[in-house]
Amino acid sequence: MAFIDEIKIHAEAGRGGDGVVRWRHEKFIERGGPAGGDGGRGGDFYVIAVRDLNILSKYKAKKEFEAGRGEDGGNKSLHGKNGEDFLLELPIGSVVTNLITDERWQLLEAGQKELVLKGGYGGFGNEHFKSSTNTTPQDWRPGQDGEKGDFRIELELFADIGLVGLPSAGKSSLLNGLTNADAKVGDYAFTTLDPNLGDFYGYVIADLPGLIEGASEGKGLGIKFLKHTKRTKMIAHLVSFENLSKGTTGMMKVYKEIRKELEKYDKKNNLGEDGLAQKEEIILLTKTDVVEDEKIIEKKKKEFEKLGKKVFTLSLYDDASVKKFKDELFKILKKK
Ligand SMILES: Nc1nc2c(ncn2[C@@H]2O[C@H](COP(=O)(O)OP(=O)(O)OP(=O)(O)O)[C@@H](O)[C@H]2O)c(=O)[nH]1
Ligand SMILES: [Mg+2]
């Protein structure tokens, strides 16, 4: 299923039910007084945030939504039932804009529910119009229309930490290792085409598409990747030990290449202080299992530590290293 981050929909809250004209039936009295009930309220239209990033693609085929109509009033002064509310599930991070009124809602946490369109009031039945001067009113009112609107829904993916790195650095594997996400993993570049999110003890980790040289100019999946990086609070930059073979400077070279893309993107978009390169960054040296000599791993770690950032080494095949990183990551996120 393709990942979708913007849709347009049309929605209508329910129309109120009509009031009715009815009469009490009493023995020997033909018209025993007005007994027409009021119509029920039309259902309201809500949006509610869920932790499902791909849910927008569900609405690709169906773009019109309608809450339930209120029931008409009944005899014996029976009030019509209210129409059913409609709850449209949207991913956390959605920004909903009413294109007619310009009202905006931002869904920031799971379960957040916003009333977007109100259902119409039910109409009065004839009993409502009863008075001392009019004991047999014929009056009734129709239900009101519910509010209607056209909406744009944009997904502004935001995460506490974004996993950044070359294709195949092991980002998706790590996301799966840290959370219960089920991101696709593959030994070819650009396995991840769209971001995946995972829940890490209440923090959101975003696994982003791989980045290559030239990404800031649109190479690879550049723009898509960078657009979503903008909303992450911090970055975990993954560099695989597989790059070690590119000479002793291999891993650092790869790291710097990606830093350069972040900076270029910031410059191009005049992001300044809000830039990607300004975000707090931790460095993860991944796939330590491909290196036989423990000393090389330590040496690389020291080399990266000179950048003045927190550096971790890990392998998905070494549970202890993943556990250690999990504990540290939790502490880092908690402090933020
Ligand atoms: N040896 C080894 N292989 C790993 C490790 N972690 C991931 N891999 C393998 O590396 C390959 C790439 O892993 P992914 O998790 O798909 O990499 P990615 O960074 O998400 O790649 P893109 O989505 O293309 O950007 C897969 O074949 C994984 O099985 C590790 O710790 N050690
Ligand atoms: Mg991936």
Torsion, Cα 276 282 285 286, to 10 degrees, reads -80
Residues with CB under 5 A from ligand 2 (ion): 171-172, 191-192
Q: Which atom of ligand 1 is nearest to the CA of 167?
A: 25
Angle between helix axes 250-268 and 222-229 (nearest 10 degrees) is: 80
Residue type (1 letter), 169: A
Pocket lining: 271 vs ligand 1, CB cutoff 6 Å: no
Coil/strand/helix, residue 14: coil
SS3 content of the chain, % helix, strand, coil (to 5): 25, 25, 50
- Could you give the CA distance from residue 163 to residue 283 in angstroms, rounded to a whole number? 10
186 CA from centroid of ligand 1 (Å) = 6
Q: What is the tens place of the pLDDT at every residue in 83-123?
A: 999 999 998 889 999 999 999 999 988 899 999 999 999 99
The pLDDT value recorded for residue 203 is 86
Average pLDDT over residues 181-198: 86
Average pLDDT over residues 198-223: 80
Pocket lining: 17 vs ligand 1, CB cutoff 6 Å: no
Pocket lining: 313 vs ligand 1, CB cutoff 6 Å: no
Q: What is the tens place of the pLDDT at every residue in 40-91?
A: 999 999 999 998 777 888 888 889 999 999 999 999 999 999 999 999 999 8
- Could you give the CA distance from residue 200 to residue 77 in angstroms, rounded to a whole number? 55
Backbone angles phi, psi at 258, to 5 degrees: -70, -40
Residue nearest atom 6 of ligand 1, based on CA coordinates: 170
**Does residue 6 register a pLDDT over 70?**
yes
Weakest mean pLDDT among 16-30, 115-129, 292-306: 16-30
Backbone angles phi, psi at 234, to 5 degrees: -145, 170
Token code pair at residue 212 = 């290559």
Pocket lining: 190 vs ligand 1, CB cutoff 6 Å: yes
Pocket lining: 172 vs ligand 1, CB cutoff 6 Å: yes
77 CA from centroid of ligand 1 (Å) = 68
- Contact yes or no for 251/259 (Cβ under 8 A): no
The pLDDT value recorded for residue 56 is 85
- Could you give the CA distance from residue 181 to residue 99 in angstroms, rounded to a whole number? 34
Pocket lining: 187 vs ligand 1, CB cutoff 6 Å: yes
Taking Cα atoms as reference points, which of 117, 122, 124 lies closest to residue 138?
A: 124
